[in-house]
Structure 1
Amino acid sequence: MSTQAKILPIKRSSDLPHDASPVVGLADHYPPGFSDPFHAHERCQLALTLSGIITVTTGSASYILPPNRAIWIPGGTHHQVTTRAAVQFRTLYVDNTLNKWLDRCHVFETTPLVRALIDEVLQFRFPYPPQGREVRLTSLLLDELDRMPSVGLQISMPSDRRLVRVCRALLLNPTDGRDLDHWALEAGMGRRTFTRLFREQTGMGLASWRQQARMIEAIALLEQGHSVTTAAYDVGYDSPSAFSAAFHRIFGMSPSAYCRGSIKI
Structure 2
Amino acid sequence: MTRSDRTSSGASLDLDYEPSVPVMAHRVDVEAREREIPIHVHRSGQLVMALRGAVSCDVPGAMWMVPPQAGVWIPGGTPHSNHSTANAVIFYLFVAPNAAPLPASCCTLRISPMLGEMIQYLAGQPPSYEAGGPTDRLARVLLDQLCAMPTEEIFLPMPEDARLRKVSRAMMRDPSDRRTQKDWAGKLGMSERTLNRLCTALTGLSFGRWRRQLHMLVALRELSGGATVQQVAYDLGYESPSAFITMFKKAFGKPPATYINDRLLAAGEGRSLAEPAPALSPT
Shift in Å at residue 75 of structure 1? 0.5
SS at match of 2:177: coil
Separation in 2, partners of 1:157, 1:216: 12
The runs of 5 or more residues in structure 2 that have no matched partner are 4-11, 267-283
Give the match for residue 95 of structure 2.
94
TM-score, structure 1 as length reference: 0.85
Shift in Å at residue 78 of structure 1? 0.8
Number of matched pairs: 257
Q: Does 1:116 align with 2:82?
A: no
* Contact kept? 2:18, 2:43, Cα under 8 Å: no
Higher mean alpha-carbon deviation, 118-127 vs 71-80, is at 118-127
SS at match of 1:98: coil
The one-letter code of the counterpart of 1:187 is L
Q: Does 1:202 align with 2:203?
A: yes
Give the match for residue 255 of structure 1.
256
Map 1:1-265 → 2, pairs under 5 A: 12-14=13-15, 16=17, 20-31=20-31, 32-265=33-266
SS at match of 2:226: coil
Separation in 2, partners of 1:17, 1:228: 40
The one-letter code of the counterpart of 2:208 is A
Higher mean alpha-carbon deviation, 193-202 vs 115-124, is at 115-124
TM-score, structure 2 as length reference: 0.80
Separation in 2, partners of 1:54, 1:17: 22
The runs of 5 or more residues in structure 1 that have no matched partner are 1-7
Separation in 2, partners of 1:236, 1:62: 21
Shift in Å at residue 88 of structure 1? 2.2
Shift in Å at residue 15 of structure 1? 6.3
The one-letter code of the counterpart of 1:77 is T
Q: Give the aligned CA root-mean-square deviation in angstroms.
A: 2.4
SS at match of 1:80: strand
Shift in Å at residue 152 of structure 1? 4.2
Shift in Å at residue 57 of structure 1? 1.0
SS at match of 2:21: coil
SS at match of 2:98: helix
The one-letter code of the counterpart of 1:237 is Y
